[in-house]
Amino acid sequence: MAGTDNHSNPFKIAQKQINDCADVLKLGQSTREVLLRPMREFHVNFPVRMDDGTTKLFQGFRVQYNDAKGPTKGGIRFHPEETVDTVRALAAWMTWKCALLDLPLGGAKGGVICNPKELSQFELERISRSYIKAVGAFIGPDKDIPAPDVYTNPQIMAWMVDEYSSIIGKNQFGVITGKPLSLGGSPGRGDATARGGMYTLREAARRVGLDLSKATMAIQGYGNAGSYAASLAQSMFGIKVVAVCDSKGAVTCENGICADTVDAHKRKTSSVLNCEGTRNMTNDELLALDVDVLVLAALENTITERNVDKVKAKILVELANGPTTPDADEVLYRKGIHVIPDFLCNAGGVTVSYFEMVQNAYMYYWDEAEVHEKLDKRMTKAYHEVVELSEKYKINMRKAAYAVAVARVVEAMKLRGWV
């Protein structure tokens, strides 16, 4: 999560990445300044009645970073260590993500400082509804459209849609995506982040000449993104997943871990630790394993100067947002590790969210196969745009992704007369 120094503060990192990109694109000072700061942000404090009868004050944020290309879009995170700088960084990365995938959307992100693991379902529902009461005036299907992120899920999105609909006096399912299917959710949104990442992994493996059916994989983070990555890597490519971890620790088995067994174990015990047929290890040991593919699916600042030398994987799949610091990025590039950068790799989530918005607007729903096909097409195209620029100008994959995305945002800003 957010640190206070320039090396680990996610927003300082995001700003450094923007400045580096502005140098590559030779952008003028005024354009650079617009890109370096959020367009607007909301800080809200709201009281919530707890189950024991007391009232607790919670703090939340919604940052709308840049809407040059369309209404802003991005998830809501519930986390005890949430900070406004983390939310600002995530909102900036959403802006580049939507532009890279050519979605008619800008970027935003939200967060509430709370620990869902210590809350009852009723408390979680009241926090979700109160947050929407606090930011409701500033969101909307053609303004800013939230979605799930870390420690939020389709049930929380359903409460939020219901609250928003009460505020405006009519059903408005299109205000939020990542909803349950029966409330206007899209088929395929559940595993979209991981699936999109797997499409980019397939293309990357072809590029570097790695046979995925013989490859090994380790996965850091075992929530929505990480757990679907495990099952999809096995079902789509026959990859052997040899280690997985969550916030409590890691498990490994060199003969391969069955994703279904880990899923069942985690549902029962809330952790992957002590899963049958595996042995426990530390999360640091997992990151240093000699595997072909390392998937990062937890939080920011996982691969840093401190541990980058230990990474042995050939391909780094960044399903998390901001998992690699700029210093570590340079080392990975020099080591020849093929990084599929976060806002390319994890863009499957927002892409299917955009499909959900389209389906909500038309009140006509596609089947899952159609969603997969459309997602594959967009992810594959974006991957090739980035890798070709990276090879042509001999810059790392993240810098190439920035160049493609930021150029699109700047074009929109220019056409609108902002810069």
Ligand X SMILES: NC(=O)C1=CN([C@@H]2O[C@H](COP(=O)(O)OP(=O)(O)OC[C@H]3O[C@@H](n4cnc5c(N)ncnc54)[C@H](OP(=O)(O)O)[C@@H]3O)[C@@H](O)[C@H]2O)C=CC1
Ligand Y SMILES: O=C(O)CCC(=O)C(=O)O
Torsion angle of the four alpha carbons 391, 302, 277, 259, in this order, in degrees rounded to the nearest 10 = -60
The residue among 27 and 352 lying less far from ligand X, judged by its C-beta, is: 352
In the complex, the smallest distance separating the C-beta of residue 386 from ligand X, rounded to whole angstroms, is 17
Using CB under 6 A, list all residues that contact ligand Y.
73-75, 94, 97, 147, 149, 177-178, 321, 346, 349-350, 353
Q: Six-digit token pair at 274? A: 């002590």
69 is in an annotated binding site: no
Active site (annotated) includes residue 109? yes
Q: Do 397 and 340 contact (CB within 8 A), yes or no? A: yes
The residue among 123 and 144 lying less far from ligand Y, judged by its C-beta, is: 144
Neighbour-count burial of 387, counting CB atoms closer than 10 A to its CB (0-12 exposed, 13-18 middle, 19+ buried): buried
Looking at 129-137, 143-151, 273-281, 325-333, which segment touches ligand X (CB under 6 A)? 143-151
73 binds, among ligand Y, ligand X, none (CB under 5 to 8 A by kind): ligand Y
Name which position in 224, 252, 301, 325 contacts ligand X (CB under 6 A).
224
Q: Six-digit token pair at 249? A: 């620790």
State which amino acid sits at residue 226. G
Query: Where do the DSSP E strands lie in 6-150?
Result: 40-49, 55-66, 72-73, 76-79, 106-113, 144-145
193 is in an annotated binding site: yes
Question: Annotated catalytic residue: which of 12, 69, 109, 240?
Answer: 109
Q: Does 246 bind ligand X (CB under 6 A)?
A: yes
The residue among 220 and 304 lying less far from ligand X, judged by its C-beta, is: 220
177 binds, among ligand X, ligand Y, none (CB under 5 to 8 A by kind): ligand Y
The separation between the first and the last C-alpha atoms of the chain, rounded to the nearest angstrom, is 33
**Any bridge partners for residue 279, and if so which?**
252
In the complex, the smallest distance separating the C-beta of residue 245 from ligand Y, rounded to whole angstroms, is 20
Nearest to 305 by CA among 275, 276, 327: 327
The residue among 299 and 315 lying less far from ligand Y, judged by its C-beta, is: 299
Which residues, including other chains, have CB under 8 Å from residue 258's CB and lie 6 or more apart? Answer: 277
Looking at 159-167, 245-253, 379-387, 389-397, which segment touches ligand X (CB under 6 A)? 245-253
Q: Does 92 bind ligand X (CB under 6 A)?
A: no
Residues 314 to 343: which contact ligand X by CB under 6 A? 319-321
151 binds, among ligand Y, ligand X, none (CB under 5 to 8 A by kind): ligand X
73 is in an annotated binding site: yes
Q: Does 346 bind ligand X (CB under 6 A)?
A: yes
224 is in an annotated binding site: yes
Cα–Cα distance between 324 and 342 in angstroms, integer?
9
Q: Does 193 bind ligand X (CB under 6 A)?
A: yes
Name which position in 59, 166, 280, 283 contacts ligand X (CB under 6 A).
283
The residue among 200 and 321 lying less far from ligand X, judged by its C-beta, is: 321
| DSSP-derived pairing of the beta strands 106-113 and 72-73 | parallel
Which residues, including other chains, have CB under 8 Å from residue 246's CB and lie 6 or more apart? Answer: 221, 222, 223, 226, 266, 271, 272, 273, 298
Q: Supply angle C-alpha 184, 187, 191, rounded to 5.
A: 120
Please report, as ranges, the residues that interact with ligand X according to CB under 6 A.
148-151, 193, 220-226, 245-248, 271, 283, 297-299, 319-321, 346, 349
| Residues assigned a catalytic role | 109
